[in-house]
Chain A
Amino acid sequence: MPDIVIENLTKTFGKGHAVKDVSLTIRDGSFTCILGPSGCGKTTLLRMIAGLERTSAGRIGIGARVVDDAAQGTFVPPEQRGVGLVFQSYALWPHMTVAQNVAFGLRLQRANATARRARTDAMLDTLRITDLADRYPAQLSGGQQQRVALARTLALAPQVLLLDEPLSNLDAALRLAMRAELARLHREFGTTIVFVTHDQWEAMTLATDIAVLAKGEVQQTGSASAIYDQPASRFVAEFIGNPPINIFAAGSDAARALIPAGVADPARVTVGLRPEAMQLSTVNNGQSLAATVTALIPTGGSWVVEMALQRGGTPVLHTTLQRPALAPMQPVFITPQKEGTHFFAPDGRCLPDLSLRSKETSR
């Protein structure tokens, strides 16, 4: 299980940057997710790791070996990197049966017929697609196609498995099943797995490590909970979380009310408040924000309360597991909890010391 070390990686297409100065270490044995909005360069990054795309600048190392170094002119072609890539589109060869798809790589490695058949059968069995062996890809469902794509890649026992949005085409139930399957493969084959997605749910549920990417740059790396609890920037705080974090613009009455006393320039600080990190009550305890309930939205097992602040601004959302004892048009008072309150400088950076201070003052 090799580490993947990415240093100052940049990829330009024409004038624009697809990936910009990315440095990232993907730990041996980790199940790392690269998470970011559409078009932020995730696929490009993955293709560079696989060797399907040359880097414009920077280095990529897999294990002890440098596989791409733009400055030195080093470039190890994809087939020599020991990586497997499962494409976003699966890219199954439509003119080959499932078994032929899986056996193709082994054929390229000149495995003899018996070894090839044994390995193919084992793979089909592992992914529970043995009965589909003689079908063509067009005759398979999306989830089945994905298993074939995985089997095809895993048949070559890659040291590194790269997955491009692996679950995006599946329904919720299949996602859970595949998630379990990927986790099992991770354990069984001891493969370093890197996958990219724009879906935070997929990232949060599967990954041990997450790297958040935006506009080709790494915003933050860490575990799922660390990224949720301690976002490094307003972008990360807003990108992760559903419903998204409530933002109170710098200088607004609500923001002023939430910023702890003694801050040098409170008018320039933006405040974010996680939807679950608040308590609603019908009485004012002095520290709270006055609002009016505008809607109660059931989301299956939990509830979203939509409120309008009395002083105006964007609507505030609150999530709760209990059915709220509230009715639309009812006045409420919002009491923020310090754990879910984040403060951001005008450039979007998080102000962690401020968050700490606000915690202290609350005790």
Chain B
Amino acid sequence: MAHDPVLALGLALLVVFLWLIALPIGMIVEDSFTSQPGDSARTGVADGAITGYYMSRALASRMSTILFYAPLWNTLLVAVCASALALVIGALLAWVLVRSDVPLRGWFAVALIVPYMLPVWTFALAWVTLFKNSTLGGQPGWAQALGAQPPDWLAYGAVPTIAILTLHYIPFAILIIGGALRRLDGQLEEAAQILGARRQIILWRIVIPALRPAVLSAGLLMFADAIGEFSVPYILGLPVKFETLSVSLFRAISTQQNGMAAVYAGAVLLIGVITLGIDAWMLREARRFTTVGGKGTITRTSPLHAARWPVFGGIMLLFVVSVVVPLVTLLLSTLMHIPGRFDAGNFTLDYWIGRDLPTVALPNGILFSSEFWAAAWNSVRIAGMAAVAAAALGLLVGYVVAHSSWRWLANALHAITFFPYLVPGIAFAAAILVLFAAPRGPIPALYGTPYILLLALIADQMPFASRVGISAMAQLGPDIEDAARIMGAGMMRRLRVIILPLMKGALATAVLLSFISGIKGVSLFILLAVPSTDVLTTFSLRLVDYGYAQAANAVVLVIALIALIGSLVMHRVAGPGLAAGL
């Protein structure tokens, strides 16, 4: 059926995704086994020939501990600790929010989600602002300004990284576990109660086992995300030489060690694939639990009695620590000449709206700085275009999957669009960089142009966008469209007049969510942006590197504001479930 338009469309999409997703990943894996340009003296073989040099250097050389095992250990340490802590705290909070009579339950249910809507390195910058010590030069931290000298272990490295990631992931755990708890049929518990089981027993024998799939899944997803996390260890790790794999990857690329970068990317990728493989396998297992997903609507609340106000206090404290303190700290920091000195003369609006300041590079407050507006415009433009493009491609993927009589094509599209989900952003960015650093065939070298950011972001958003497209198309069913076809409406006409209007809601949701995640994303862009193509996130990290802490914090606040407003709009429009995204 050469004239089958669905087949043609499907094949075209497949080619696009093979090029944009499979090819770069394949190339970076290949790079870790081929001698990179300029390395032949070390690898002992010609450029482009197969070599085990990078692997053995990383895994079995005198340098291995420093180069590979220490970052690997740090990565795993951070990921395991942060996800485990977030899981425990999140599960407790989920139970309190869903099942107890703690005051302001409904308000907390939204307020505690806020840290997940903010870019995670907002917290890192706030932490630095507060706890920076003299190990790092430049302006002092607040604690230092107030006369304390925070020890290195508190100021930098593993402890703050874990603490910040934990705070960031707690909302995610609340969303997933709380959702499962809400769907858990209250009758299950009542059935046990009637049989005479005490509350303790019900909790341990009924509730916890029934929630196990959701809890484990939440844990694995957080773990996979933490493995690829770049910005927090990048900001907090440097002064104490604390590196995770993603930071090592970044450094390898910045120093043109492409072979080593490929090895790091491969390691991160492998951990991601294994983790999510376990998750997928467990989800399949979990289908056997039909309980979660039942439609138990009546959830009884358990009175906390005397513990009611202490629990309330605890949650309020968490809210203050994870939302109020970081945001207020950042905000105040952008208003002070010298950090941590709280006297009237020290406050200023210069960093926002000043002009002709006596600094080397950034003579104007960010609101009057052309670099800021250029970066903001880039952010909005790239995230917006990528969000629309990804949603449109997702819709087309959904269309082909729903209509193609060629199962292999549907399966291939399904699988390949999901793949970027398994690949942490920074590894994917490294892969994209390999593909687009040099001209290939008809495609010119895209490094240094905004297009590379755009393409990377589109590919990165495909897992989510294609899931939205597929499920929306599946809900639509074929009849609606066949009814138009039988009257003579061609495929494009049907897409425009029938499918698109019906998908408006789903598409708008997908576009907005993709946009938010594009605006606050950093690990995907940090390798790909150059100063002239900076987006807000990379611009702010550049400011951090230059030591312009106030300006960096101001930019981060702007990003946080955009992300927060977008998420709240989303929350209003689509409900909290969707805000969790993927």
Contact = CB atoms under 8 A, between A and B. Distances in A.
Interface of A: 47, 50-52, 78-80, 83-85, 87-89, 91-95, 104-105, 108-109, 152, 156
A91 B487 contact: no
B498 A93 contact: yes
Contact of A95 (B477, B483, B486, B502): B502
Contacts of A156: 487
Most buried by A among B482, B487, B493: B487
B485 A87 contact: no
A93 B487 contact: no
A105 B482 contact: no
A83 B485 CA distance: 12
21 contacts: A47-B482, A51-B486, A52-B482, A52-B486, A78-B485, A79-B485, A79-B486, A83-B486, A85-B482, A89-B479, A91-B479, A92-B483, A93-B483, A93-B498, A93-B502, A104-B487, A104-B497, A105-B488, A108-B487, A109-B488, A156-B487
A79 B480 CA distance: 15
Nearest to B497: A104
Interface string B447-472: 00000000000000000000000000
Given A84-B486, A87-B482, A104-B484, 7 more contacts: A87-B483, A88-B479, A89-B477, A91-B479, A93-B483, A93-B502, A104-B497
A227 to B, nearest CB: 30
Contacts of A152: 483
Contacts of B89: none
Nearest 6 pairs of A and B residues by beta carbon: A79-B488, A91-B479, A105-B487, A91-B483, A87-B479, A78-B486
B196 interface: no
B250 to A, nearest CB: 47
Interface of B: 477, 479-480, 482-489, 493, 497-498, 501-502
B501 A95 contact: yes
Contact of B487 (A47, A79, A92): A79
A94 B487 contact: no
A80 to B, nearest CB: 8
Contacts of A85: 482-483, 486
B482 A91 contact: yes
Nearest to B483: A91
Given A87-B479, A93-B498, A50 B484 contact: no
A87 B477 CA distance: 12
Most buried by B among A52, A80, A91, A95: A91
Contacts of A105: 487-488
A94 B483 contact: no
A304 B456 CA distance: 73
Most buried by A among B479, B482, B486, B497: B486
Contacts of A87: 479, 482-483
A313 B479 CA distance: 47
A95 B485 CA distance: 17
B204 to A, nearest CB: 46
Nearest to B489: A108
Contacts of A104: 484, 487, 497
A93 B484 contact: yes
Contacts of B498: 93
Contacts of A78: 485-486, 488
B32 to A, nearest CB: 41
B487 A50 contact: no
A110 to B, nearest CB: 10
A51 B482 CA distance: 10
Contacts of A89: 477, 479
A108 B502 CA distance: 19
Contacts of B485: 52, 78-79
A4 to B, nearest CB: 16
A152 B479 CA distance: 14
A254 B488 CA distance: 59
Nearest to A13: B405
B486 A94 contact: no
Nearest to A158: B486
Contacts of A51: 486
Contacts of A79: 485-489
Contact of A91 (B480, B488, B489, B501): B480
A213 B327 CA distance: 71
Most buried by B among A84, A92, A105, A109: A105
Nearest to B1: A54
A299 to B, nearest CB: 36
Contacts of A50: 486
Given A89-B477, A94-B502, A108 B488 contact: yes
A47 B405 CA distance: 15
A47 B486 CA distance: 10
Nearest to A149: B483
A95 B497 CA distance: 10
A109 B486 CA distance: 12
A108 B479 CA distance: 18
Contacts of B497: 104
A170 to B, nearest CB: 18
A89 B498 CA distance: 16
Most buried by A among B479, B483, B498, B502: B483
Nearest to A81: B486
A83 B486 CA distance: 8
A91 B493 CA distance: 17
A157 to B, nearest CB: 12
Contacts of A47: 482
